[in-house]
Structure 1
């Protein structure tokens, strides 16, 4: 099960860099189902790590929250769509909205809206300190750093306000966030209550979150938010600390914050891959594929050996029956045997003149088509069952081809009295039933 740890440093301690080990944090641990499993207030980092260890948790996703006034909300109107061009144009698009040298500011890109791209700007030195604060925790892996006010639940068409002691966090449906002293809420309310002259006056919904104790202590300030006909204020009581509200909103996607861990401050270090969650499955598939290939190769080798053994057995049987036949091999033994069977089936043990002439004529036609072959005389001995042909060809290879063709048909064919002349080769072909 995947766990996510939300950590927020206490305001007073967050500003101190003298003793990092003495920093105190509010924290809450969420499981994959969105349920809070543990929480703490004002705890040391070692205490939080010990809690994770005692519960056997490892590789917990850590989300760090920094004060909202550490990061400035901007809007960048960039017509480009490719990320390379957007990142190149981003500093120039927000330069006028930032009161310091743009080169000393880290810019994090958010969602694209009708107004443009949402951007978070934070001082580079401060961002490096925050990244160092939330990095290297035992049993965790840093996932993101957000301005805390950016995690408030979105109120459609209006603002969300969370009372947090002497400060207040605020966020609008446009994605902008603010952190200010609670005493200044009245001034903020008057700013919202003053409508533009060209617009029709409409109520702006405002949802105020806080504990019952906060509501009692800040009753006068909340009263200043009540501007009849312009601001519609609704209170939502919190049973626990504001961090749990922020964690709940983020886990259930009730807000759209900008992750500050981008570009030079990315926590992925260029090594993360979208395939990482699938690596175990890929490894199993690779092993299965290798085993399958090995099995297929082994079966192929086995069947090849079996076929070779069968060919050797067939030739052994053929050699027992025809020990003097040196021209037949494993590649043509089937054709030779089929020819012999045809001869035996059509003419029995004796082959007459017509049968011998039939097969001799067929082979003559085959050989004569690719070279000059001539029959000078034909003699047949009925007592010996032999057909003797005086044959002339342009070369001995033609005579040999004629003899081999007859042998492949199951006949006994021999060439004798071969004479090589300047015009070709002449010999005597003797054919019998074998």
Structure 2
């Protein structure tokens, strides 16, 4: 579950350079429900509270004093973000009281009056970013001027009463901070219509606790008695930071995030990707394991292939002990060549080899005296030896044929004639 932590410095200790900062804070869950809160606490005590509850995915929203950032409009006709950024300093420099190069400009949404812009001194913005960065177990998401989060609802102006200070926001997007006793003077300004404005009612909502209402009753009475002002009181039960956090979560206000450009969280020390570091680390480990597995399998198969090559070469050298040309790379080609030559040679064994093998089998035949060769013919074009043979039985002829075939030659018996003297036939022998 994701959580949002809203931290607002106390008005009396709102300077990040003046010692230990004291803060009011609230923690909202993903549904916007209040889970924890605290007042007048240090950063360390807030981190301890989060750590005790083992919370993860906490996003920090820092709320700085509204008077730290100036609101202004930028009339820029461009629509592309790149051109708007380029033209922004020139569009607002006349509205600033200091050199535009020393000011950080944060761009808001477009309105009828132009783009809403928040301007804050670079040095101050750097201090505030450093204040809210690198909290334990927390990622910085945004920094807003606190007054910009006061909810307007259906009113023209909203006022939130604090301890001696008032936060103000208008429907045009303006915000400001002033002392509570100056609200009467400001109310007179609101009551005066602009030159091109028709006098109409100005609706004002005032937020505050029962205690702050009681302490500022005279000021509130003066507001209610100002012509054109319609003042509505909205009681608060909690601290100011609770009202601002709820307004932000429920989109009841449109503040300008000051964490832009070089101050964006992705450009800071923490980085927006830091929350993804565990997932990136797991993915990297998985990738390394996959690569290691592939390398291991490759090495195993390489070893197996090498063993098979050694076995094949051992068998080859047993058959051809004198051959030193064969290697695992060319042994197949050499064997194919030898088989091709052997096949060509076996196809035409020649008269003398055929006669030799036939005579050898004749001499080894039992009862060879009962077998007679009448004539021998050799045809070189076919590589065949044809013998007219007579035997006392066909079994003698068949035994001779089988013996010749066992020598790797082809032998067949044809033209068999049986008579009273025995069997006559034609024995054909070839090289195979």
- Give the direction of change, closer, same or farther, for the CA distance of 1:100–1:283 in structure 2 (3 Å limit): closer
1:72 pairs with one of 58, 70, 73: 70
SS at match of 1:126: helix
Q: Does 1:170 align with 2:168?
A: yes
Cα distance in 1 for partners of 2:286, 2:19 equals 50
**What is the match of residue 110 of structure 2?**
112
Superposed displacement of residue 58, structure 1: 3.2
Superposed displacement of residue 139, structure 1: 1.3
- Give the direction of change, closer, same or farther, for the CA distance of 1:103–1:275 in structure 2 (3 Å limit): closer
SS at match of 1:268: helix
- Give the direction of change, closer, same or farther, for the CA distance of 1:144–1:43 in structure 2 (3 Å limit): same
2:31 pairs with one of 24, 30, 33: 33
State which drifts further: 240-249 or 222-231. Answer: 222-231
- Give the direction of change, closer, same or farther, for the CA distance of 1:155–1:219 in structure 2 (3 Å limit): same
Cα distance in 1 for partners of 2:134, 2:147 equals 25
Cα distance in 2 for partners of 1:135, 1:20 equals 17
Superposed displacement of residue 278, structure 1: 9.2
Superposed displacement of residue 81, structure 1: 1.6
Tell me, which stretches of 5 or more residues in structure 2 are unaligned? Answer: 288-432
Q: Give the alignment's Cα RMSD to 1 decimal.
A: 4.8
Cα distance in 1 for partners of 2:255, 2:87 equals 22
Cα distance in 2 for partners of 1:111, 1:270 equals 24
Superposed displacement of residue 49, structure 1: 0.8
Contact 2:11–2:65, Cα closer than 8 Å, also in 1: yes
Superposed displacement of residue 20, structure 1: 3.8
Cα distance in 2 for partners of 1:126, 1:286 equals 39
Superposed displacement of residue 196, structure 1: 2.8
Contact 2:151–2:252, Cα closer than 8 Å, also in 1: yes
**What is the match of residue 139 of structure 1?**
137
Superposed displacement of residue 155, structure 1: 3.7
Superposed displacement of residue 54, structure 1: 0.5
Return the index of the structure with the highest Cα Rg.
2
- Give the direction of change, closer, same or farther, for the CA distance of 1:45–1:278 in structure 2 (3 Å limit): closer
Cα distance in 2 for partners of 1:274, 1:60 equals 13
Contact 1:202–1:229, Cα closer than 8 Å, also in 2: no
Q: Does 1:44 align with 2:42?
A: yes
Tell me, which stretches of 5 or more residues in structure 1 are unaligned? Answer: 290-434
SS at match of 2:266: coil
Query: Which 4+ stretches in 1 moved above 4 angstroms?
Result: 270-289
Q: Does 1:247 align with 2:229?
A: no
**What is the match of residue 125 of structure 2?**
127
Instruction: Kindly report which structure 2 residues correspond to 1:4-403, keeping only aligned pairs within 5 A, or say none.
Output: 4-15=4-15, 17=17, 20-21=19-20, 23-156=21-154, 158-227=156-225, 230-269=228-267
Superposed displacement of residue 11, structure 1: 1.9
**What is the match of residue 399 of structure 2?**
none
**What is the match of residue 354 of structure 2?**
none
| TM-score of the two chains, using structure 1 as the length reference | 0.63
Superposed displacement of residue 55, structure 1: 0.5
Cα distance in 2 for partners of 1:87, 1:250 equals 25
User: How many residues align structurally?
Assistant: 359
